[in-house]
Structure 1
Amino acid sequence: MLVAAFGMCTGVLYLYSAGTLVIPIEKSTGWSRAQIGMGLTVVTIITVVISPITGALVDRYGARPLALFGITLFSAAFAAIGLTGESIGSWIFHWALLAVLAFGMSPATWTSAVTNLFDRSRGLALAVTMTGMGIVSLTIPLVSQLLVEAVGWRTTFFWLGAIWGGIGLPLVYFLLRDGRSGPRAPSSAETTRREGLPMRESLLSRQYFAILVATLCFTFVAMSFVVSIVPILVWQRVDATQAAALASLFGITAIIGRLATGFLLDRFDERVVTTIAMVLPIAAVSLLWSMPSVIPLAALSIMITGFSLGA
């Protein structure tokens, strides 16, 4: 379970380190922030396309083989971003390569490993696994900023990839099991036949389309906030290290948001809870837009967004 949490942590490493890397890359290459952000956009698009393929591979081969390949290839591809050439095309190519090679780092891989092992307390096990995202958002902005100041942005990519791969690969190899290697009692989900719509009909349904559009809109807004917050604060003359420390508040409030949402979903209509969680970034952006140089308000906007991401 803890290995799966580490895997979740590694899978979003690129996202929470990006904010501290934007300004050094901008100064070094002369690219605009919009051009730099195209790398993350490419990752998002490719991830959406290959996620169903990853799910099918997990169902067929199990979580462990995909996790081994995924963490190895992801770490190598992330480290290689530091080798980006002078053209923006090279930058986008490296991010596209990362997205393709990171197919095994999908949340489906890690959550599958957990659900196959737990028949009881499965919800708690998944909650612990998902805290990996909160942990990385708590630690990586500051670690990334310190590395940038010490060795520069190119070498920062190498060290982050090497550190996470060097720790993660042995953990996955020796400790991760996906429940397929030995017999276990079938769970009620496996023994009870559940009827549902065929996949084609499900994908064309109004409910699926509504969820897809809402999720994409939320993801683009919230992730843009995560990536842009450090450059925005630095632009407002906040020290880069202090800005990275403020960005770490994402992690604390994401964990709180995850636990609080689980509590609320048990007691209130899930549509109401989900709607509130999805509109919270509007309040966060409004606060930051109104007074971006006021540190307490900037911190509050970060915490609101972190809570929403956790939810």
Structure 2
Amino acid sequence: MSDTKALARAEWRQHWPLVLAASIAFSFTSVMTASTGLFIEPWTKEFGWSRTLLSSGMSITSVTTFLFSPVFGVLIDRIGTRRMALPGLLLLAATMASLSLLNGTVWMWFTIWTVYAVAALATKSTVWTAGVASAFDAGRGLALGLTLSGSALAQAITPPLTNWLIDAYGWRMALVWLGLGWGGLAILLCVFLLFDGYDASRKERAKNPGAADSKSLLSDAPGLSIAEAWRSAALWRIAISTFVIMVVTIALVVHQIPILMEIGVSRTAAANYAGMAGLAGIAGKLVTGWLLDRYPARWVGGLTLAATAATFILLLLPNRSMPIIFTAMFINGYAAGTKLQIAGYLTSAYGGMKNFGAIFGTMASLIALGSGLGPLLGGYVFDTFGNYDPYLWIGIFGTFLSAFLIFGLPDYPEWVRRRRVEESFI
């Protein structure tokens, strides 16, 4: 076990710059999701659009990701993450800033979001998860936790920052600052620090051109073939669980500001609560990463996802006080923020790294579908019933179903069990 800890420390000494770059870049890809709720009010006042329409932008991105994620997953296995991420980040930053040019025409709204969706394909969680998982083994859980904490960092910083930018400079300049400022930092870090196992494999192949016939850069790593992955009951449970939790939690992220304002919280206070939930999410990812490296992932993941139900229950209580709201947002930030981390770790454990990009890319299609349906569901519920209560009930059922699917996973595959048995004799 001491050798395992030494290996983890060695991995961190070598690859901490990769985790830093991936985390900041992933935080940038989450900025639009975390800030959309704050733009709903000014967009509604200026353009008179419904919340269903305003939720459609993220849905366009999700549908595009749903359709094309498997293709981009295969590309990750063949060209690596760096060649995917850098052009994607450049286009994402430019497109986010271009939302400042909206003039009230619906066709312009859909056009910008369609371009944004293409950029998002090259910068989704699959890219950062694959890059970090390719470089870490003994410390993979914590490394994924820190990397995917980028989304929690965005959730913590973006709402209060966006609220301040809107008040100080207006919603148009707020989008420019978020797109070019945050995006510029992410691009610079990735240019200088984003080097992972795919890059190491490419260099090795360059030295020995005939050493590997497979088009996958990680063909020598243990794992399932594409056909075996499609037949894996464990991977299907992980995918369906993640789809369900994404539907209910992404809707809460996008609509949390209007939900809190509906129960009497000011926009500024709601933004601060959302930021607090993001800070709790960072803690959740770090604690969950530490636990995943030490305990069975089905128990860690199942308990964490089940705890998310408490958020929806608390928000349904009558006469909700500030302590209740604080507790609800804290629990949601802590528990729901780990969903991609749990999905990525479980996919690498049950699917292996040989075809991780293709497998997780396919799973990302269901994740994207859930992310797209969630905001639409929240907007539709409000437009139909005049409040969000029916959606909160759906959230309770969905979180328990998601947790049940993870609890029911089988033992780890042979390659994971063999590695852990070997570690126990060290």
Q: Which has the larger radius of gyration?
A: 2
**2:171, 2:314 → 1: CA distance?**
30
Distance 1:176 1:268, change over 3 A: closer
* 1:99 aligns with one of 91, 107, 117: 117
Q: Is 1:37 the counterpart of 2:55 in the alignment?
A: yes
- Does residue 297 of structure 1 match 2:312? no
Judge conservation of contact 1:256–1:310 (CA < 8 Å) in 2. no
Give the distance between the partners of 2:237 and 2:131, measured in 1 at CA: 29
Question: Does the 8 A contact of 1:254 with 1:308 survive in 2?
Answer: yes
Aligned CA distance change for structure 1 residues 82 and 193 (closer, same or farther; 3 Å): closer
1:2 corresponds to: 20
Match among 261, 266, 272 for residue 239 of structure 1: 266
Shift of 1:205: 4.7
**Structure 1: unaligned runs, 5 residues or longer:** 185-189
1:132 Cα deviation from its structure 2 partner: 1.4
Q: Distance in 2 between matches of 1:264 and 1:117?
A: 19
Given the alignment, which residue of 214, 217, 222 partners 1:194? 222
* Comparing 205-214 and 240-249, the one that deviates more: 205-214
1:286 matches 2:313:
yes
Q: Does 1:276 align with 2:303?
A: yes
Determine which of 77, 83, 107 is the counterpart of 2:95.
77
- Contact 1:54–1:106 (Cα < 8 Å) also in 2: no
Greater mean alpha carbon deviation, residues 290-299 or residues 74-83: 290-299
Q: Quick check: 1:228 aligned with 2:282? A: no
- The separation in 1 between residues aligned to 2:54 and 2:223, in whole angstroms, is 46
Judged with a 3 Å threshold, the aligned counterparts in structure 2 of structure 1 residues 270 and 62 are, in CA distance, closer, same or farther, namely closer
Identify which of 34, 37, 44 aligns with 1:19: 37
Give the whole-Å Cα distance in 2 for the aligned partners of 1:269 and 1:150: 48
Shift in CA distance, 167/264, structure 1 to aligned 2, threshold 3 Å: closer
Q: Is the CA contact 2:144–2:289 (under 8 Å) kept in the aligned structure 1?
A: no
CA distance in 2, matches of 1:79, 1:191: 39
Which residue of structure 2 aligns with residue 216 of structure 1?
243
The structural deviation recorded for 1:214 is 2.0
2:32 alignment partner AA: Y
Distance 1:87 1:294, change over 3 A: farther
Closer, same or farther in 2 for the Cα pair 1:89/1:221, shift >3 Å? farther
Residues of 2 paired with 1:162 and 1:280: CA distance?
36
Of 196, 213, 217, which aligns to 1:178?
196
Distance 1:278 1:22 in 2: 28
Return the TM-score normalized by structure 2. Answer: 0.65
- Name the structure 1 match of 2:213: none
Contact 1:233 1:292 in 2 (8 A): no
Distance 1:65 1:9 in 2: 19
**Alpha-carbon distance between aligned partners in 1 of 2:42 and 2:318, rounded to the nearest angstrom:** 25
Is 2:106 the partner of 1:88?
yes
Q: What secondary structure sits across from 2:122 in the alignment?
A: helix
How many equivalent residue pairs? 306
Aligned partners of 1:31 and 1:88 also within 8 Å: no
* Corresponding residue number in structure 1 for 2:82: 64
Aligned-partner SS, 1:211? helix
Alignment-derived partner of residue 68 in structure 2:
50
Distance 1:293 1:39 in 2: 31
Tell me whether 239-248 or 173-182 shows the greater mean CA deviation.
173-182
Counterpart Cα distance in 2 of 1:268 and 1:60: 32
Relative contact order (C-alpha < 8 Å, sep 6+): which is higher?
A: 2
1:150 aligned partner: 168
RMSD: 2.6
Q: What's the TM-score once normalised by structure 1's chain length?
A: 0.87
State the percentage of identical aligned residues.
Answer: 32
Contact 1:257/1:310 (<8 A) preserved: yes
- Supply the distance in 2 between the matched residues of 1:201 and 1:193 (Cα, whole angstroms): 15
Letter in 2 for 1:194: P
